[in-house]
Structure 1
Amino acid sequence: MAAGRCECICTHSEAKTFGRWPGVKKGSKEATSLQKNIRDRLIFCRKYSEWTAEDWGKVIFSDEAPFRLFGASGKRLVRRRKGERYHQSCVMPTVKHPDTIHVWGCFSSKGVGSLTILPQNTAMNKEWYQNTLQQQLLPTIQQQFGEEQCIFQHDGAPCHKAKVITKWLGDQNGEILGPWPGNSPDLNPIENLWSILKRRVDKQKPTNSDKLQEVIMKEWVAISQDLAQKLIESMPSRIAEVLKKKGQHCKY
């Protein structure tokens, strides 16, 4: 399962095309950042291009996500009859500064793992993250994999790259997937899981923070292993499509 070495980083034509995105001036900081992003994505995808769905089944993906009252997932399609445009049943209430709940979760082909909810209006930092890894990740790994080797995935968020976190992960002797390319939600199946979860939460129409937290937890544990496995099994296709598109974002 070992990933092969990647010699080619980015061809001249790939970098040139990527740097010509609309609104991005050649030689600008934005163009440089975009070119670096495509190089990082190609390095990652070439490194794991030969991995099978079975290989990806040994990875536990993780991420943070915000949930807001009155529309966690943004726009919602509504079917209505003529004259019902402003009917109460066809209008979603909004507030200027909705309560925001930040959660951290993880999952693998074996199903969803732990989901932790941070205190209201609190974002993840290195202290919270280390505590979450200790109290939530390790028990999930033990429950899902036991003594079997698994690989942990997280992105390059500042709190994830903090020295204290790097040291803690090193002390656990666990393997880390990556290096993970920035700005690559299309490569992380947990992003699809968040979208599904937010739609399910929206349907419950929670009216306060306590109810929102309750619904989030209820819908999280209701996610089937079959769904989790299908998302994990999409990884080879994601990798192949990004390579086909020369590092640009794919449909996922």
Structure 2
Amino acid sequence: MSWCQTRAEKKPLLSRKNIRDRLIFCKRYRDWTAEDWGKVIFSDESPFRLFGASGKKLLRRRQGERYHQSCVMPTVKHPETIHVWGCFSAKGVGSLTILPKYTAMNKECYQHILREQLLPNIQEQFGDKQCLFQHDGAPCHKAKVITKWLGEQNIDILGSWPGNSPDLNPIMNLWSILKRRVDKQKPTNSDKLQALIMQEWAAISDPEVN
């Protein structure tokens, strides 16, 4: 076996509670079938940055080409960033919305997104059939007013979601696909970045989702 020196991969730092909660979650759902998971709508927020900063850039280079123009990824100190909220299920990609600039996600903003984006998506993909909604434990997600509102809409929640566990959410794979597509087209301003985000999200096909 040959060895090479490389950078360590990044992953969330898990506390003992995180580890315990993840194990509980996995044991609770380990017997679920593809049909069971097909009833879940997954959701998340994600940032997109200009100048290819959203994802990693993989390349091959020869010795002495480390700083060659074709082998670097330009960065800026404070890149323009667009935050989005999206959801999807086994039936395909769902809603995607651009979050207001310079506005922190709070319970009022989140409830507006759920009302304007999630409800139509549930109706389109599931109709009158029952489904489960997944969101993580962010404070605005777990606010009492949000829990009450979801209950009033008869939306059941996929429970026991462990903290600090973005890797358990399959929407992370969609974010990765979307960021690669957007970065590849090298948007030069926030308007182009926003347009590409929406365009490429709509172009993601069912095989990529499944």
Please state which band the TM-score falls in when normalised by the shorter chain.
0.7 to 0.9
Deviation string, structure 1 residues 137-170 (Cα, Å, up to 9, x no partner): 0000101111111100000001101111111111
Segments of 5+ residues of structure 1 without an aligned counterpart are 1-30, 230-252
1:130 to 83, 88, 111: 111
| Match of residue 99 from structure 1 | 80
Contact 1:197 1:216 in 2 (8 A): yes
| Match of residue 42 from structure 2 | 61
Give the C-alpha shift of residue 104 in structure 1. 0.2
With 219-228 and 118-127 compared, the bigger mean Cα shift is at 118-127
Larger Rg: 1
Give the C-alpha shift of residue 38 in structure 1. 1.6
Task: Please tell me the residue identity of whatever aligns with 2:41.
Answer: I
Matches within 5 A, 1:1-12: none
| Match of residue 167 from structure 1 | 148
Deviation string, structure 1 residues 122-143 (Cα, Å, up to 9, x no partner): 3322111100000000000101
| Match of residue 10 from structure 1 | none
1:115 to 93, 96, 99: 96
Contact 2:55 2:179 in 1 (8 A): no
CA distance in 2, matches of 1:135, 1:34: 36
CA distance in 2, matches of 1:100, 1:174: 31
Task: Please tell me the residue identity of whatever aligns with 1:50.
Answer: D
Segments of 5+ residues of structure 2 without an aligned counterpart are 1-12
With 113-122 and 142-151 compared, the bigger mean Cα shift is at 113-122
Secondary structure of residue in 1 paired with 2:159? coil
| Match of residue 205 from structure 1 | 186
CA distance in 1, matches of 2:61, 2:33: 45
CA distance in 2, matches of 1:104, 1:72: 18
Task: Please tell me the residue identity of whatever aligns with 1:152.
Answer: F
Give the C-alpha shift of residue 92 in structure 1. 2.6
Contact 1:72 1:198 in 2 (8 A): no
1:76 to 35, 50, 57: 57
Give the C-alpha shift of residue 35 in structure 1. 1.7
Give the C-alpha shift of residue 89 in structure 1. 4.1
Q: Note the aligned Cα RMSD (angstroms).
A: 1.9
- TM-score with structure 2 setting the length: 0.87
With 189-198 and 118-127 compared, the bigger mean Cα shift is at 118-127
- TM-score with structure 1 setting the length: 0.73
Task: Please tell me the residue identity of whatever aligns with 1:73.
Answer: S
Match status 1:179 vs 2:160: yes
Secondary structure of residue in 2 paired with 1:60? strand
**For this pair of structures, how many residues does the alignment match?**
198
Secondary structure of residue in 1 paired with 2:148? helix
| Match of residue 128 from structure 2 | 147
Give the C-alpha shift of residue 75 in structure 1. 2.9
Give the C-alpha shift of residue 50 in structure 1. 1.1
Secondary structure of residue in 1 paired with 2:140? helix
CA distance in 1, matches of 2:71, 2:134: 40
Contact 1:104 1:115 in 2 (8 A): yes
Give the C-alpha shift of residue 78 in structure 1. 2.8
Give the C-alpha shift of residue 73 in structure 1. 2.9
